[in-house]
Structure 1
């Protein structure tokens, strides 16, 4: 299998040699390696021998039809995903359904529209690249999991243990070979005997009922010793396979502490007060980190509205010693403190590098790589980064994952739109992405408008979102000095008494 999907190895299967030749020429023109087969049986053999990245499969063929071939190919894939696209003259709904049930990932009817086929191939190419990146990230995650103190156990939907980390062996006093393949009830029999559990007498348990909440119970070590644990379960899907990940913490020490706390109500209240003070301290520290002097620039107006105590949206602004004006609007995945922590590395790098008069490209490379190296899988940061040169009346903008930005003229109408053409920060390594900021010029009384998706997705009581139409309608035919307030008022009127479901950030920059 390829290590990078700039080209793919494609297995093309059709009993019509003319069709097969056309496919071969088309695929080679796109730069892919091509493997040919003239019936389903031959296709399965070629797949097992050569392990292609993608399969284009006809349905009506001698020896073995495409449906059966697809089933056998999917069975042979095992631990990796190989997309199958059916190419067939059969275009009834039942043919499509049967193809998808046989394991196909897409369906294209004959005669083939090669423009559509090329688009589908590119889509599959992107998915394969992302799958490969996820596999690398998984290896990194495994290395991390072996260095945490809590037990991490993965299980299938039948409750059979698939993997354990080193902490699991230590906590339960069992080598991994004695746990893998066994029911999770072997480790946690008491936890899975409640009214919402299945498999009380044997091999399976209803792990899905444990998602999203921590549960305490009794676990059993190899020597039969029982001890209290806390378990949290989350569900993941890898290559279309549902898996459950359980984090098991030995809380023996905590239980002893709780008993002592229960004996003294005063100590318990003191503990609560201390926790509240820590949260307030965290809020004050975050506010100090976020509200830097650069945000008081007279040409800048901004607002960040959090759905919780902490916001995953941030804004930042800075001027370099050479006079360049930089601005950042970032939106981390999730809400609350975890999302707020996710954006701190981006914020620190932004202020450090803008003081050094770095280019947007250099900023993006450093911020992206910092997130890749420090954040767990599934955490990433969408961002808009701007640099303005007020002497030449020109600027650069880079958008990754955040909504499109607008250059607004004096009458409140967009003269330029900057689309989000890049992935969010932290998804791919910096050497895997192409970083090309968009250059632009402006005229007198122009303004740059940018915002997070929380603004667009803000829905009223009827479920109608504010959307880009609401944004443009709010600022149309308004004076530049009134534009920010007009947007705030329009959003408030749209929401009424309904709070926004996501953090909302908004920034308007005067272009002098």
Structure 2
């Protein structure tokens, strides 16, 4: 070293020039980036750091520093403040931005010690600073301090990565458990983006035995793992009760009580629940604390209905009656139902503006595509992403499109042909072959008053049949038969409703509104169900008898198949006749017996 260099070194640094033995040269301390436009300052500091065990990288200005950081990833940076081309403040901002969550300590070197300079250094991302001329003792202490902080950050990052990996495994299993019971419905399109690995939004789908579609979009409080914990019990109740044919109000009542018992007081579940009738003529909707459910026409150009929230989220009030807020809505084939969580309308851009309901609806209409249904949500997602570009996602985002098309309803029974010829002799022969000795059972139930208003007995009867018989019994057929016969007895017998209401404008909405009004006012009436079950080795026979207190009806016109077709009357009777060996009405039409055979007769 020349005399001039020694003199410069003394001018730049105070304290003993020798290296402290406590930080004697070692290996593995990493790379140090020294950024200074003064070659002497760089040389002196580099010599000290090299002797301390660092691999040295040098830069003359802030722009070079950024390039060195990108190419060589230093472990610690010593940054001068005032430099040509790019100063240390701007360089530090960009390096900290590129480092993201990785902690790369930056120590500013400056001859200015005023509070304004220190503040600007801190705001630019500086982790510490040293005033010139540099005191080697202070430098050693700050290096040790930054290394300890850096090591803690790396340890935390390693633990975070380990936890994240474990959560990935847990999320995979969790998602499988939640969704494995979902019905395989090809034409349901989804856009789901969790704010964290675990999503607080949940989509459940299933068929009832009558092939109605049940769809539940749930949004738990918050997001992440804590928000997802309530999903398991909800999924279990949803699939179990849908499979047994319960209505959405009864399913929601059960889920509500379950969540009230399980969730802490600060958690609840908002929900959009729809049931699509198997004939694609109406939907039943329950919206609890969620954005509007939208019904679009088959071209996606018009919003036909906005089904608003009418109830509180689930898990708050265990006694809330969801039957009071379920509402019917007429649909036509090709209509589209849009479900969404509040993560869409409440999403913000970098200016803090919300996406909002108005912009959301406009994006749906502008994204219409008559020829390619699958691209519909892709177009909406493009508009949404353009708006939110640069914004931070704070909540889970879910958007569901359900086209009301026959392909989504896998009919077990094809549309009946009106002039079906039945082999009554063969049917009677089958009946005679069945043993009716001791291998039989009978159920008799009487429904009146509260039961007629509030209880759907069909799932209860199906459950009893499940316990009494083996899995060979076609429970779906039994559900359809019992549901149709009970509905006819209640609606057209006890309540004396006219099916002609369904053929008017908004027919099903008017029909169900009148039905609810008559049920609320009901103070008398009853329905008697008698179910006889006879078994043999390879099957058996059900005799299903319904008798109601109504005045009866002209059943002969329905039995000869003349009414069924475009009419809304008689469809249930004709469907039952396709399933049963015989359907017999007794005068004046308020008593019916259906015989159903199963197995090898």
TM-score range, shorter-chain basis?
A: 0.3 to 0.5
TM-score where L is the length of structure 2 = 0.39
TM-score where L is the length of structure 1 = 0.45
